[in-house]
Amino acid sequence: MTDQTTARHTEANVVLRQVGKPLERTDAEGKATGRTRYAGDYTMPGMLHAKVLRSDIASGKLKRLDASKARALPGVTAILTAEDLPDRLAATDMPGQTGQKRAATDRQILVREIIRHHGEPLALIAAETPAIADKAHDLIEYEIEPLPGVYETSAALQAGAPVVTEPDNIVGEHKIRKGDTEKGFAEADHIIENTFHTQFIEHAFLEPEVGLAWVDENGVINIRMSTQVIEHFRFIADAMGVPHNKVRILGAMVGGGFGGKEDITVELYLALLAQATRRPVRLAYTREDSFVGHGKRHPFDITHKTGVTKDGKITALEVTIRADSGAYVFLSPYVLLYCAVAAPGPYRIDNVKIDSKAIATNNMYTSAFRGFGAAQACVAYEAQMDEIAKAISIDRFELRRHNFMRTGDKTATGQTVESAIWSDKCMTQALAALGEPTNAEGPVKVGRGVATYQQSYGRITWFHDTAEAWVGIEVDGTVIVRSGVTDIGAGQASALGQIAAELLGVGLDDVVVYNSDSAVTPLAGTTTATRALYMTGRAAHKASEILRGRLVEFAASELGVRPEDVDLANGQAFVIDNPESAMSLKDLAARGASEGLQRSELAMFRAPFTDPIDEETGQGPVFPDFTYGCHAVEVAVDTETGEVTVLKSVGAHDIGQAINPQAVEGQIEGGALMGQGYALSEELIYQEGKLVSPSFSEYLIPTSMDMPEIKSIILESRSGLGPFGAKGIGEPSLTPVAPAIANAIADAIGTRVFDLPITPEKIVRALREADENA
Amino acid sequence: MLREFELDLPGDLQETLTRLPGGTPLAGGTNLLVDLRARREEAKRLVWLGNIEAFRDIKIDKAHVAIGGGTTVGDILRNSAMIDAAPSLVGAARVFGGQMVRNQATVAGNVCSGSPAADTVPPLLSLDAEICLASSTGVRSVPIDSFYSGFKKNQRKQDELITGLSWSVPGPSTANLFYKLARRKGDAITVVGVAVTVTRDGDRCSDARIALGAVAPTVFRAKDAEAMLTDQPLTEELIDEAARAAMAQSNPIDDIRASADYRRHTVHMLTRRLIGQAWRSLAGKEADK
């Protein structure tokens, strides 16, 4: 799928020796040869096998739970029920944060009485073999009295609705007020209003949740697992009632996260069972377990009411947002905030009014998912742009150009964007890359669509985010990097190696990166929020730069020149104007060691710190910075059957500076695939809160036969806050894809499907309705 | 986790047939093992068919095709003569499951599963295939058109094995097409499957077959529609009328993949399209004569 002729556009011609090159990543060989150990590959002598018993209904009261037959089964070591646990809750928040209604909304570890969603855990089992654990699972007897549940956000807000979260099912609210929308609408020639709906979707990472826990000789609960967030060790300790330094989470290479391994998954169950049995315990979710075992992407209903002049200037925007948070709050308030802040898109609009609510239901809880609310916002605002263009008969690309924020403009919350805003450049290049239009024949219609976006990278600035990294040079001149960052498959660890190699004048081959151990590697925060490269990369950059300074100074004195005359490259320290005068890093490090030179540095990088935004107006800075870009597609739609074929798919993003362009292409291609599934085929279907599509035969991810070649265009403004001016691409690569496809379909068939996924059946229905209205 | 079961490993066909009473034949296992794991299937004893000699043989001569009961969907694709011997079956094999499933699943197993969405069945119906059934007491042949009796019900007796399928090679005046409508292009369960056979004699259609999948409790032939086309010149109007008749004969359900209404609509569209394509492709051949 990779187009080998990646276009790269760099503003300034800076000499970089390691960064910006498609080097073979440090994790490539191990993955290609199968030697990489994932969390599921670890075993220990005497290891037990765990299983989770879950509720198969969404709303009910647990009347009776009898594990006596299961406990009596030979080979069963432990069955834990709520009665066996301390009466503590499990945090559903981010490490270091306090949610809007945290105390009231944490989650019970196991059901004590009330069941709030399908799949809520009832009991934990540990047994000598997986087969015995399975048998024990079937031997636990229980009786559930169904209770009336609430499964639609509109129903959950009505008086007398079942209360999932006290007092009113509202788990998050955000407002944004800018300018005067009444005045703005008065200035408008047209007012266009539409409501867009997005669906529940599944992260569908290749590697289901898995881990292995044991209590060591110091009484520390060790958990080796697949996670995006090793810093949940604190929440695990809190839930267990042990000191924080008695829980350690060790990561492994992670087989995909996408936000689905951002919350606590298997680690708390593993910790409880390891503590109860004092034996190593392994818990590996099946795919079916994974479908019901972790939170999903929030469905949103987003209404845009836009005022626009006849020549296409947007004068006012009102947005109403509703998100289904499911049965527990988890990260809903933050996802909602991201959606509200993103809702105006990459456009400069002077009069804005946004109201948003996250609402509890008895559906599966919803939480982080790549794009984190901002992706749903883009589905709405970019479809709305095309609807505006259609309504006022103006070119949809010109409408965007007319309203794009430009570098130096403020967001709707009044935050000045310090970095480059290259939306126009990205859109122009993406459109050009679509090339000549494909011919349409008979009932098949061809259409094109774009979506542009504004997507934050880095966490909310009042979280006061920090990251640490340690960089050291060995006496033979090789380099070691240590950082807690979890590598979820995008090359998060390898990027740190590339940064250290650049600054210390070695090759990536000369660097080894140790990562993802909450007790041993310096804590670097989460691999979420498109922050890993930005935050950890800056920490590694800072540590490397300090170390580089010491090495250069020492080399200068050895070579008898000033430090500013010395550079490090190709494993050597050399005099810039006289490269013959040089010494190898090996000699330099060895000499330095004998002279007591400090050959390592631990550095912390701090993101910008701000106070929370104003609650009534939403005014204030929210994020460190934003990525801008565009995805463009061409589709063919069979108007008789409604089938859609994506013919061309182009992502053009200003990512500031590519550390490894091949890894960036990987993100753009992965985003294109995931976004195509979001647009066309992926949907978790819940009936009365029960998941009725719990397998990959019903949950339809695009296959290689569904995907076109994806073209990646990397633009580099070098204006970002990340290392070497990098911005983030993890989430942004996904965000514009689904709305671009939706717009292309609307362009092809002349009418729009307002709710994702845009299935063939919905297209046929929309065409029929358009026909009837015509 | 997979249920426990006994596994019989008979060495040849005769031994297999003696073991079948009370047992469940296991070929590719792409349905059976999945169903056992999901606890939808109760089979206690499986009889492995992998040791039967020459069970995957494909014999194609000028007029006839015969495939062994162990022929996989992948075998159909890898046999270059099959594209003329069974164009619709090759079309179905191309979009059958994913590569790993195609390499494992057998055509006979797909026929036997009786799912209305079984992709090889509409093509085999459109080709008037014969099913060869054997038991330890004898051998019989059943036309596939009379094989199915209801949802996942068919004429195979519990102790019988499908040892092969056969059909006639379509002649030069015959076109045979298949289309699978699904929610995605690869590895998907069929929403509507349509196979058509049209034989042209001068300006008339001398014979027609229309087999529809996933729109009734079993795959079936839309015989009302077939009759409307037989011995007629195929005008656009007549083709559309026949396609509507095929739609009228469909009796689909609503499920999470599609509504009954959408399935009926696409039966109309796809039948019209395929018959039209088949007829027009033969017009060229007629002109060449």
Residues A412-465: tens digit of each pLDDT:
999 999 999 999 999 999 999 999 999 999 999 999 999 999 999 999 999 999
pLDDT for res A4: 35
**Which chain A residue is nearest to residue B267, measuring alpha carbons?**
A641
User: What is the biggest distance separating any 2 CA atoms in chain A, rounded to whole angstroms?
Assistant: 86
pLDDT for res B4: 84
Peptide bond into A146 cis (omega under 30): no
Interchain CB distance below 8 Å, A700 and B98:
no
Query: How far is A185 from B186, CA to CA, in rounded Å?
Result: 48
Query: How far is B125 from A302, CA to CA, in rounded Å?
Result: 49
pLDDT for res B194: 98
Interchain CB distance below 8 Å, B184 and A134:
no
Taking the Cβ of residue A676 and every Cβ of chain B, the question of whether any pair is shorter than 8 Å is answered with no
Q: Are A90 and A109 in contact (CB under 8 A)?
A: yes
Taking the Cβ of residue A218 and every Cβ of chain B, the question of whether any pair is shorter than 8 Å is answered with no
Position B1 pLDDT exceeds 90? no
Taking the Cβ of residue A640 and every Cβ of chain B, the question of whether any pair is shorter than 8 Å is answered with yes
Question: Which one-letter amino acid corresponds to residue A455?
Answer: Q
Position A1 pLDDT exceeds 70? no
Helices (H), A214-301: 233-240, 267-277, 287-293
Position B248 pLDDT exceeds 80? yes
Strands (E), A147-276: 170-178, 190-197, 210-215, 221-225, 247-250
pLDDT for res A90: 83
Mean pLDDT, range A22-27, rounded to an integer? 95
Position A545 pLDDT exceeds 50? yes
Model confidence at A43, pLDDT cuts 50, 70, 90, reads: very high
Give, for A473, the enclosing helix (H) or strand (E): strand A466-473
Give, for B150, the enclosing helix (H) or strand (E): strand B148-150
Pairing of strands A281-284, B24-26: unpaired
Domain boundaries, chain A: 40-147+209-284, 300-460+612-773, 466-606
Peptide bond into A167 cis (omega under 30): yes
Position A13 pLDDT exceeds 60? no
Distances (CA, A) of A168 to A78, A118, A163, A336, B224: 39, 21, 6, 17, 59
Interchain CB distance below 8 Å, A693 and B256:
yes
Which A-chain residues 126-185 have CB contacts (< 8 A) with chain B?
A: 130-131, 134
Taking the Cβ of residue A486 and every Cβ of chain B, the question of whether any pair is shorter than 8 Å is answered with no
- Tens of pLDDT along A234-250? 999 999 999 999 999 99
Residues ≥6 apart with Cβ < 8 Å to B43: B5, B23, B24, B32, B36
**CATH classification of B174-288, choosing from 3.90.180.10, 3.40.50.300, 3.30.390.50, 3.90.1150.10?**
3.30.390.50
Mean pLDDT, range A383-394, rounded to an integer? 98
Q: Are A738 and A679 in contact (CB under 8 A)?
A: yes
Taking CA A447 as the corner, what is the angle to CA A443 and CA A258, rounded to the nearest 5 degrees? 120
Helices (H), B106-205: 107-113, 121-126
Interchain CB distance below 8 Å, B185 and A705:
yes
pLDDT for res A398: 98
Least confident of A101-110, A361-370, A605-614, A668-677: A101-110
Query: How far is A770 from A746, CA to CA, in rounded Å?
Result: 12
Mean pLDDT, range A70-76, rounded to an integer? 98
Taking CA A350 as the corner, what is the angle to CA A345 and CA A355, rounded to the nearest 5 degrees? 60
**pLDDT top residue among A9 and A302:** A302
Q: Which of B189, B265, B273 sits opposite A764 (nearest CB)?
A: B265
Helices (H), A580-630: 585-594
pTM of the model: 0.96
Quick one: angle between helices B260-288 and A760-773, nearest 10?
90
- Tens of pLDDT along B58-70? 999 999 999 999 9
User: Does this chain's domain A40-147+209-284 share its CATH topology with A466-606?
Assistant: no
| Chain B contacts to A (CB-CB under 8 A) | 1, 98, 181, 183-189, 191, 256-259, 262, 265-266, 269-270, 273
pLDDT for res A693: 87
pLDDT for res A6: 38
Chain A residues close to B189, C-beta within 8 Å: 697
Domain B56-168 has CATH 3.40.640.10: no
Query: How far is A552 from A588, CA to CA, in rounded Å?
Result: 9
pLDDT for res A7: 39
- Tens of pLDDT along A682-730? 999 999 999 998 999 999 999 999 999 999 999 999 999 999 999 999 9
State the smallest CA–CA distance between residue B194 and chain A in angstroms.
13
Interchain CB distance below 8 Å, B1 and A134:
yes
Mean pLDDT, range A191-217, rounded to an integer? 98
Query: How far is B82 from B93, CA to CA, in rounded Å?
Result: 11
Interchain CB distance below 8 Å, A641 and B184:
no
Domain boundaries, chain B: 56-168, 174-288
Structure letter (DSSP) for residue B3: P
Domain A40-147+209-284 has CATH 3.90.1170.50: yes
Q: How many residues does chain A have?
A: 774
Fold type of domain A466-606: Aldehyde Oxidoreductase; domain 4 (3.30.365)
Distance of CA A52 to the CA centre of its chain: 26
User: What is the biggest distance separating any 2 CA atoms in chain B, rounded to whole angstroms?
Assistant: 62
Average pLDDT over all residues of chain A: 95
**Which chain B residue is nearest to residue A703, measuring alpha carbons?**
B186
Position B200 pLDDT exceeds 70? yes
- Tens of pLDDT along A176-190? 999 999 999 999 999
Interchain CB distance below 8 Å, B262 and A643:
no
Q: Which of A685, A700, A765 sits opposite B184 (nearest CB)?
A: A700
pLDDT for res A96: 55
Interchain CB distance below 8 Å, A681 and B262:
no
Residues ≥6 apart with Cβ < 8 Å to A150: A59, A156, A161, A162, A164, A169, A361, A362
CA contacts within 13 A on the Cβ side of A353 = 13
- For domain A300-460+612-773, the CATH architecture is 2-Layer Sandwich (3.30)
Position A99 pLDDT exceeds 70? no
The region that residue A278 occupies, defined by phi over 0 for left and psi between -120 and 50 for alpha, beta otherwise, is left
